[in-house]
Chains A and B, each alone.
Chain A
Amino acid sequence: MSDREIAADPFAKIWKFFASVRLTIVLFLTLAATSIIGTLIPQNESPEAYFRAFGPFLYRLFDVLGLFDMYHSWWFQSLMLLLAANVLICSIERLSSTWRIIFVRNPSFNLERFRRLKPKKEFGDNRNAGALKESYSAVIARSFRYWRVAETDNNGFAIYGEKGRWTRLGVYIVHLSVILMLVGGVIGSIFGFEGFVNIAEGDSAQQIRIRNSGEIRKLDFAIRCDDFDVSFYTTGAPKEFRSRLTILEQGKPVLSKDIIVNDPLHYKGISIFQSSYGQLAPQDQGLTPPGEVTLSFTSKATGMIYEKKAAIGRQIDIPENLGKFVITEFNNNYNFRGKDLGGAFVGILYQTDGAQIEVVLPIRFPSFDRMGPMFNKNRKDDVFISVSDVDVKQEPAIARYFTGLQVTRDPGVWIVYAGFILMIIGCYITFFMSHQQICVEVIDKGKKSRIMVAGTSNKNKLANARKISKMAHTLANLEQRA
């Protein structure tokens, strides 16, 4: 298409815009410049922290611009999308002409063109052209994959050599690899997740928390931490974190593995990584389930407080005929809406209306049950229960650890890895291999001959000039030996 036709056709205009190297450079440098922002503002912190750091005006401005998660903001992603479109269209645009250069059946050589080339060496020889043909051809055949001899006027001849046509594809491999990486990244972010979970030794978990969004996600299987160990060097630096994990399907163990940093567990497309660890807070550490506990019952109607001794599994009657209560279990670290309340009794309240209500009695929060009716609308508010005395013993001996696991799924990772490999291979080909052509013309001057060596390369002109001189040197030295 001529320039005028392009100007008239809006589609061609857009196409040309997307095929331009100018856009590429602008995009590269814009991506580089804007990426700096996200390294100056720590990303994905809590809104309060940002509000405190920047004040109301800047907070609102930055929030609108998406600067608190800028690498996932619409404008940054659009820049990457533009780059993808740019590299795709640019490659399509150029591929057909490259293809035509690469896949010709009989490469044609234009002697005039070689004669006009800059990197050119000439020398003379004391024999006639015919005497040189064989030995020269052998030299060219040794370093060029394709070669042929053509007769020229007056008994002269020209040898053409060529190699590395296919290396012109290298840059397409690089550009394709960029697309693969972006596609793999998109697949990963749509169909994958990145979460974490802390599991105390001996416990198991089936729910993980998604990083950044904080949303809870339930896995098809449970992860049990059988054991966690951390070892230290004599310097005090950590040497190894090791978790023994078991995967449970419907409560049945199906797979066990020790994981350490750099050696994760893979199961059903989900990978589980050792990422951190911690010691349970003292109040969460093994409390021995107490033998006896004193509960107090507060009647709303009379305001009276009754104390009664209780034990796990022993049903007691609540005074004033307010129902019955039984403690069913003791939980070392009761988790209430993501908050660890520490040691708590869990029991069942048999109300006078016949309803059975689960009641939680955290030791450290005696008025917790006052909120009971708020959480369960079947709970009558005629009595509140709390723990007034309990003799729990701290298990002193062993510190209990929890292991911090990163749980991820990324179905796009293999596409990204394919991109990685292609990018390395493609860069090597484009950078260090080239399409080279050479022409050795021998002009017969009766008893003597005159020789010209010329050649081109699509890359690295100086290296090409050096190669031509070297070839001329080799050919000239053949004469000396003969």
Chain B
Amino acid sequence: MSSSTILSIVTFIYGLAGFLYIFAWVFKKESAGRLATWIAILGFAGNTVGIVMRWIESYQLGIGHAPLSNLYESLIFFAWAIAFIYLFVERRYESQIIGAFSMPLAFLAMAYASLSPNISDRIQPLIPALKSNWLIAHVMTCFIGYAAFGIAFGTSWMYLFRQRDTGDKSPLFDRFPGIDALDELTHQLVKFGFLFLTIGIITGAVWANSAWGRYWGWDPKETWSLITWLIYAAMLHVRYFVGWKGWQSMPGKLLGAFIVVLIIGVVFVFFKKLFILPFYFLLLVSLIKIFGAEQRKLFAYLSILGFAAVLFTYFGVNLLPGLHSYQSMGQ
């Protein structure tokens, strides 16, 4: 069996695990939950085997390199990191409901890699710019960071659902861990992710310096990773901002007004394509909501915004004018 076949099967195993986690949560079936854990472990094992086999296959093809060199391989590693971190969190925090918000992410990453017609699962030789150990360190640390942010994205939604649920109105959210635990878990995950994103950006900078003689060039991919990093940095500092009261505070208003103006400007100047308008409207509304929130909610919102920036850094940057050297160098 080839690694691609194994990885396609893993996609469905993750899908099944995600489904079982959701099923166990919604119908309060502990046996389904236990099964979900075992299926997730199986998927993780398969994922690991798939990555190792792909590595070996690349050597058999005579173009041996670590399987971290293109979109397909990075998505596979992303799913692997999500599964790993999630399983660790499940053991540590003894809650399976987080799995209902995490394993579907691993499934989606794998499904996108395996099923999207735009992504080739062929093992390709390395172009000159990618032949660097810094690149391996860069991709691994970035994606471990992204995976932690992905799970924090899930726990942030859980926090927001849970804290609305005063009284025993909704039995679904009632089964979540308490809001303090969710808040703390989000914080832990974001700290972990932030450390890895920081190392990822730094190793990327060192790599760029060894390949092109500059550690920072403000190209769109680099800039978006910095934007992501700034959002999470803001999030970490929100915890120390005693006295944040949402819109009532002056800088909050100023910042909000500034962002609104900026976004409206951007929409009208650059995006004559109208289909983007609803998305921008959505973003606008959510930003207004974000900065109106009290401290701990703001913390959760920023984690969600941060993960949106992660996704944009990952998938969206290619839509922007100008290309990151990762894709264009040497072609």
The yes or no answer to A28 lying at the interface (CB within 8 A) is yes
B-contact bits for A440-482, CB 8 A (1 contact / 0 none): 0000000000000000000011100000000000000000000
> Of B198, B258, B270, B331, which is in contact with the most chain A CB atoms at under 10 Å from its CB?
B198
Task: Determine the distance from Cα of A164 to Cα of B198 in the docked complex, in whole angstroms.
Answer: 24
Partner of A406, one of B205, B212, B230: B212
The yes or no answer to A40 lying at the interface (CB within 8 A) is yes
The yes or no answer to B218 lying at the interface (CB within 8 A) is yes
Contact flag A32-B266 (CB < 8 Å), given A26-B251, A71-B218: no
Partner of A262, one of B124, B129, B249: B129
Task: Determine the distance from Cα of A34 to Cα of B258 in the docked complex, in whole angstroms.
Answer: 10
B-contact bits for A8-48, CB 8 A (1 contact / 0 none): 00000000000001111110111111111111111100000
Nearest chain B residue, comparing its CB with the CB of A461: B184
* In contact, B227 and A36 (Cβ under 8 angstroms): yes
The yes or no answer to B282 lying at the interface (CB within 8 A) is no
Q: Within residues 197 to 223 of chain B, which ones have a CB less than 8 A from any CB in chain A?
A: 198-199, 202, 205-207, 209-216, 218, 220, 223
Nearest chain A residue, comparing its CB with the CB of B224: A39
Which of A109-117, A133-141, A215-223, A419-427 participates in binding chain B? A419-427
The yes or no answer to A261 lying at the interface (CB within 8 A) is yes
CB distance from B247 to the nearest CB of A (A): 14
Which of B71-79, B95-103, B161-169, B316-324 participates in binding chain A? B316-324
Contacts of B180 in A (CB 8 A): 462
A-contact bits for B245-257, CB 8 A (1 contact / 0 none): 0000101001100
A-contact bits for B277-318, CB 8 A (1 contact / 0 none): 000000000000000000000000000000001000000010
A-contact bits for B230-272, CB 8 A (1 contact / 0 none): 1101100110110010000101001100110010001001100
Task: Determine the distance from Cα of A274 to Cα of B330 in the docked complex, in whole angstroms.
Answer: 11
* In contact, B226 and A35 (Cβ under 8 angstroms): yes
CB distance from A274 to the nearest CB of B (A): 8
* In contact, A33 and B258 (Cβ under 8 angstroms): yes
Task: Determine the distance from Cα of A235 to Cα of B122 in the docked complex, in whole angstroms.
Answer: 12
Partner of B194, one of A31, A262, A264, A427: A427
Contacts of A261 in B (CB 8 A): 128-129, 131, 211, 329-330
B-contact bits for A138-154, CB 8 A (1 contact / 0 none): 00000000000000000
The yes or no answer to A260 lying at the interface (CB within 8 A) is yes
Partner of A420, one of B202, B244, B254, B269: B202
Partner of B238, one of A25, A240, A262: A25
Partner of B212, one of A39, A273, A420, A428: A273
Contacts of A122 in B (CB 8 A): none
CB distance from B67 to the nearest CB of A (A): 17
CB distance from B58 to the nearest CB of A (A): 13
Nearest chain A residue, comparing its CB with the CB of B191: A431
Contacts of B132 in A (CB 8 A): 262
* In contact, A424 and B322 (Cβ under 8 angstroms): no
Task: Determine the distance from Cα of A237 to Cα of B331 in the docked complex, in whole angstroms.
Answer: 7
Contacts of A98 in B (CB 8 A): none
The yes or no answer to A271 lying at the interface (CB within 8 A) is yes
CB distance from B210 to the nearest CB of A (A): 5
The yes or no answer to B127 lying at the interface (CB within 8 A) is yes
* In contact, B210 and A32 (Cβ under 8 angstroms): no
The yes or no answer to A194 lying at the interface (CB within 8 A) is yes
Contact flag A262-B231 (CB < 8 Å), given A30-B258, A71-B218: no
A-contact bits for B173-211, CB 8 A (1 contact / 0 none): 000000011001001100110110011001001110111
The yes or no answer to A328 lying at the interface (CB within 8 A) is no
Contacts of A31 in B (CB 8 A): 230
Contacts of A24 in B (CB 8 A): 234, 237
* In contact, B195 and A428 (Cβ under 8 angstroms): yes
B-contact bits for A396-422, CB 8 A (1 contact / 0 none): 000000000011101001001100100
CB distance from A68 to the nearest CB of B (A): 12
CB distance from B293 to the nearest CB of A (A): 13
The yes or no answer to A233 lying at the interface (CB within 8 A) is yes
> Of A24, A33, A240, which is in contact with the most chain B CB atoms at under 10 Å from its CB?
A33
* In contact, B202 and A34 (Cβ under 8 angstroms): no
Q: Within residues 106 to 125 of chain B, which ones have a CB less than 8 A from any CB in chain A?
A: 124-125
What total count of A-B pairs have CB within 8 Å?
Answer: 153
The yes or no answer to A7 lying at the interface (CB within 8 A) is no
The yes or no answer to B45 lying at the interface (CB within 8 A) is no
CB distance from A189 to the nearest CB of B (A): 10
* In contact, A233 and B63 (Cβ under 8 angstroms): yes
* In contact, A194 and B230 (Cβ under 8 angstroms): no
The yes or no answer to A185 lying at the interface (CB within 8 A) is yes
Task: Determine the distance from Cα of A120 to Cα of B199 in the docked complex, in whole angstroms.
Answer: 37
Contact flag A424-B214 (CB < 8 Å), given A22-B249, A30-B258: no
CB distance from B251 to the nearest CB of A (A): 5
The yes or no answer to A238 lying at the interface (CB within 8 A) is yes
* In contact, B237 and A25 (Cβ under 8 angstroms): yes
Nearest chain A residue, comparing its CB with the CB of B133: A262
B-contact bits for A251-288, CB 8 A (1 contact / 0 none): 00000000011111000000101110000000000000
Task: Determine the distance from Cα of A281 to Cα of B322 in the docked complex, in whole angstroms.
Answer: 26
Task: Determine the distance from Cα of A131 to Cα of B320 in the docked complex, in whole angstroms.
Answer: 73
Partner of A239, one of B128, B181, B255, B320: B128
Nearest chain B residue, comparing its CB with the CB of A23: B251
Task: Determine the distance from Cα of A33 to Cα of B124 in the docked complex, in whole angstroms.
Answer: 37
Nearest chain A residue, comparing its CB with the CB of B125: A233
The yes or no answer to A58 lying at the interface (CB within 8 A) is yes
CB distance from B286 to the nearest CB of A (A): 14
* In contact, A462 and B181 (Cβ under 8 angstroms): yes
Nearest chain B residue, comparing its CB with the CB of A427: B195
Task: Determine the distance from Cα of A37 to Cα of B258 in the docked complex, in whole angstroms.
Answer: 13
> Of B207, B230, B241, B244, which is in contact with the most chain A CB atoms at under 10 Å from its CB?
B230
3 shortest A-B CB distances, which residue pairs?
A: A408-B213, A28-B234, A261-B128
Q: Given known contacts A233-B63, A238-B330, A427-B195, what 11 new A-B pairs fall within 8 Å (CB)?
A: A22-B251, A24-B234, A25-B251, A71-B223, A237-B330, A238-B127, A238-B128, A264-B213, A408-B214, A416-B215, A424-B198
| A residues whose Cβ falls under 8 Å from a Cβ of B | 21-26, 28-43, 58, 71, 185, 194, 233, 235, 237-241, 260-264, 271, 273-275, 406-408, 410, 413, 416-417, 420, 423-424, 427-428, 431-432, 460-462
Q: List 20 A-B contacts (CB under 8 A).
A: A21-B240, A25-B237, A28-B230, A28-B234, A33-B258, A33-B259, A35-B226, A36-B266, A37-B266, A38-B218, A39-B317, A235-B124, A241-B128, A261-B131, A262-B131, A262-B211, A410-B213, A416-B215, A423-B198, A462-B184
| B residues whose Cβ falls under 8 Å from a Cβ of A | 63, 124-125, 127-129, 131-132, 180-181, 184, 187-188, 191-192, 194-195, 198-199, 202, 205-207, 209-216, 218, 220, 223-224, 226-227, 230-231, 233-234, 237-238, 240-241, 244, 249, 251, 254-255, 258-259, 262, 266, 269-270, 309, 317, 320-322, 329-331
